[in-house]
Amino acid sequence: MKVEAISLEKKYHGAVEHWQRHNFKDYETLLDQWEKYFPTDERFCLCAKLELGTSDTIAIGEHKGEKKRLEPEQLSEEEAAHLLAIIKAQASTEFGSIQQHAGTLERADDDQDRFWVLRVMAEELRHGYQMLHLLLSKDWSHVSRGVSGEQMVEEILSMQTGNHVLDAFNLDYDSFIDNITFAAIVDRVGKYQLTMQRICAYRPMADSMPPMLREEAFHLAAGVIPMRRWAQRAAQGDPFITMTAIQHAINKWVPRALEMFGDERGGETNVKFGFKDLKNREAQDQYIEEVQKMIRDINLRFIRARFPAYAPEQADAALAELERARGTHHGVRREDLLRTPDRRFFRRKGEPAFSMVGVDGEPFTDAEEYLRYLSRHLNEGYVASRDMRNYAEALRGVAAGTLAVKDAIMKMPKLKRVGGTCPCSKGVRWVMDGSAADQAASA
Amino acid sequence: MPGTETGTRIRPLDELDIDAIVRIDERISGIYRPEIWEQRVGFYLRRDPGASQVAEAGGKVVGFMLGDLRAGEFGLEEPSGWIERFGIDPDQRGKDLGRQMFAAMVAHFQAGGARSVRTLVDRKDEGVAGFLRALGLSPSPLEALEMRLDAKPTESR
Ligand SMILES: CC(C)(COP(=O)(O)OP(=O)(O)OC[C@H]1O[C@@H](n2cnc3c(N)ncnc32)[C@H](O)[C@@H]1OP(=O)(O)O)[C@@H](O)C(=O)NCCC(=O)NCCS
Ligand SMILES: [Fe+2]
Ligand SMILES: [Fe+2]
């Protein structure tokens, strides 16, 4: 695997660094302490990386077998517009997750966990940078409706938690449990998207994927490994970490993660255009299977820690019994273990949007009862949020028949905050030329 | 990502393999030590994702081989691949899975510019040493040296 590293033109590189100073203040701490936490690992590089030596043939869809496209103009107008939207959404998620992580990072109770998340954030910054490279290195003007590359960058860097493209990136974290759970659950969707896009008919996009995927492997580990250790601590009676708290975070993120795949009934266009190799539901099905495996492993970690004398087969049997009979096993209840929420649970987009279904698939008919149920299955900080209030309002409308589901869906992502420009007193934009950029560098 | 239910396959390590690796190690060594494998898997996924491999049989992970590409260590400037830990479930041995995992790691190392693959082995462990010889590894001109620090100091001057 040979990789070409590329830097953005100075003013754009500076814009990303400027954004970092406002949104990712611990970046310097990470670089300073890199050797301590990641000894002998390659230093972090804020650059775009393109894999060399990949396939130059389109793998799927209408143009299967043809040469991959190297320029946006070689795509049809419809294809280029579609891909441009994917790149912008991807960029939004990368920058968005840094803003989310930054909110609660300092609350980590373990320094290794904190530095792992810091590294995840730095790599997300690189991923965002990578997407800006795709926007800026070629000419998209024929499908951007007059919006210049600079304006697109400005638009992306101005987004904040609340006005990002996808809902999962519009929710604040409520505690460090969210940092970890998000990495295990939401970055996992990222892995699927990047894996599907490895075959992208637009070659610069395809070649961006392998280096990002290699980093994503660590992001998932940075989520799953602390979760496994927490399960052990919970089993051993640590009063500060409980399986219920972890479950509440899972309940918060899994529904949003499922929605990142897009509507269950869609995804054909991506396959037709040769941008991805799975339709939405196919990818989502595989994802759910993977989350179930993750949760089962964490539960086994809990059971082995609670019953240290058990052989692996005894732990398997205990878990199987608890899942089947829902009773108790020497004081451990089914509710003490984690579960994968039903795919219809707490959904607000896609096929099951606004259906009222519990974590275990139990149906509800009364909106108030369902909201009370949610309040018991999500963490208290999140329940008291504006996001929940908006959701509850829409759900009540749907349940009362005064709001159509499709209109309720439309209402959802809009938490729009006021002002998206650079908070520096002098600067009003992220991308600046010459002396303005130098001045902002000291801001 | 979820695999096929039949046959065997070799694929790169991921974070959801920890459970299977802990089990295989427990079958081989008789010791349950999840912390160690969490740390090692975290390390390799960070260092060189794509290098370490697992073997699946019937959709279940039954073997693992962990390692990474390194340069500049011990004054060895040229990049070389290192194999650190491996194990195959005793019920699944003799099916060439070790050899196949090794081949996948070698391919990864070569793609990264390595000209050699290295490991350290306890000569007394004939099971492991024999396996490594069968794969084509042979004693290196580099010698592993060590000195006990917990025993009585010996004459050294
Ligand atoms: C070493 C081990 C991986 C070999 O597993 P395996 O299933 O026999 O491996 P394979 O089937 O892929 O064998 C590959 C080759 O090695 C040979 N081989 C395996 N063990 C051997 C031995 N002890 N002596 C000589 N050759 C051996 C096989 O015959 C085969 O050669 P072939 O292809 O020419 O027939 C397995 O025995 C094991 O897991 N042992 C414990 C490992 C351990 O202790 N790990 C901890 C240290 S990190
Ligand atoms: Fe990312
Ligand atoms: Fe990520």
Contacts of B46 in chain A (CB under 8 A): 38, 41, 119, 218, 221
pLDDT tens for A305-333 read 999 999 999 999 999 999 988 889 999 99
Q: How far is A228 from chain B (nearest CA, A)?
A: 9
Domain boundary among A271, A300, A329: A300
Indicate if the pLDDT at residue A185 is higher than 50: yes
Ligand 1 residue neighbourhood (C-beta within 6 Å): B 28, 85-88, 93-99, 126-128, 130-131, 134
Average confidence (pLDDT) over B100-109:
98
Pairwise CB contact (< 8 Å): B16 & A294: yes
Question: What secondary structure letter does DSSP report for B76?
Answer: B
What is the structure's pLDDT at A425? 52
With cut-offs at 50, 70 and 90, classify the pLDDT of residue A164.
confident
pLDDT tens for A194-225 read 999 999 999 999 999 999 999 999 999 999 99
User: In the CATH scheme, what architecture does the domain B8-134 have?
Assistant: 3-Layer(aba) Sandwich (3.40)
pLDDT tens for A368-419 read 999 999 999 999 999 999 999 999 999 999 999 999 999 999 887 554 444 4
Task: Give the SS3 label for residue A255.
Answer: helix
What is the structure's pLDDT at A329? 95
Cβ–Cβ < 8 Å for A390, A171: no
Residue tagged 């290196």 (tokens): B140
In a domain, A249, yes or no: yes
Residues A250 and A376 both lie in one domain: no
In a domain, A378, yes or no: yes
AA identity, residue A368? E
Domain count, chain A: 2
Q: B24 CB near a chain A CB, below 8 Å?
A: no
Global ipTM = 0.92
Contacts of A218 in chain B (CB under 8 A): 42, 45-46, 49
CA-nearest residue, atom 31 of ligand 1: B134
Residues A155 and A287 both lie in one domain: yes
The span from the CA of A344 to the CA of A145, in Å, is 37
Q: Which of B15, B23, B35 sits opposite A312 (nearest CB)?
A: B23
The span from the CA of B124 to the CA of A439, in Å, is 66
Which residue, A416, A374, A417, is CA-closest to A392? A374
Q: Evaluate if pTM is beyond 0.90.
A: yes
* Ligand 1 pocket test target in B28, B41, B85, B131 with most atoms within 8 Å of CB: B131
Whole-number Å distance, alpha carbon A97 to ligand 3 midpoint, is: 8
Residue tagged 């149906």 (tokens): A363
Residues A216 and A290 both lie in one domain: yes
With cut-offs at 50, 70 and 90, classify the pLDDT of residue B71.
confident
Residues A364 and A229 both lie in one domain: no
Domain boundary among A408, A423, A438: A408
Among B4, B11, B16, B48, which would you mutate to test the A interface (most chain A Cβ atoms within 10 Å of its Cβ)?
B16
Cβ–Cβ < 8 Å for A41, A34: yes
What is the structure's pLDDT at B4? 47
- Report chain A's mean pLDDT, rounded to a whole number: 93
Pairwise CB contact (< 8 Å): A1 & B112: yes
Which atom of ligand 1 is found nearest the CA of B24?
Answer: 39
Residues A95 and A36 both lie in one domain: yes
Pairwise CB contact (< 8 Å): A297 & B18: yes
Indicate if the pLDDT at residue A432 is higher than 90: no
What is the structure's pLDDT at B3? 45
Indicate if the pLDDT at residue B153 is higher than 80: no
Q: Containing domain of residue A31, as a range?
A: 3-300
Residues A7 and A62 both lie in one domain: yes
What is the structure's pLDDT at A415? 45
Q: Which of B15, B70, B112 sits opposite A221 (nearest CB)?
A: B15
Residues A262 and A384 both lie in one domain: no
Residues A293 and A350 both lie in one domain: no
In a domain, A366, yes or no: yes
The span from the CA of A7 to the CA of A40, in Å, is 24
What is the structure's pLDDT at A256? 96
Q: How far is A164 from chain B (nearest CA, A)?
A: 28
In a domain, A223, yes or no: yes
Q: B32 CB near a chain A CB, below 8 Å?
A: yes
Domain ranges of chain B: 8-134
We report the CATH number of the domain holding residue A190 as 1.10.620.20
Residues A222 and A369 both lie in one domain: no
Task: Give the SS3 label for residue A48.
Answer: strand
What is the structure's pLDDT at A325? 82
In the stretch 64-93 of chain B, residues with CB closer than 8 A to chain A read: 70, 73
User: What is the b/e burial string over B35-56, where b = at least 16 CB atoms within 10 angstroms of the residue's CB?
Assistant: eebbebbbbbbbbbbbbbbbbb
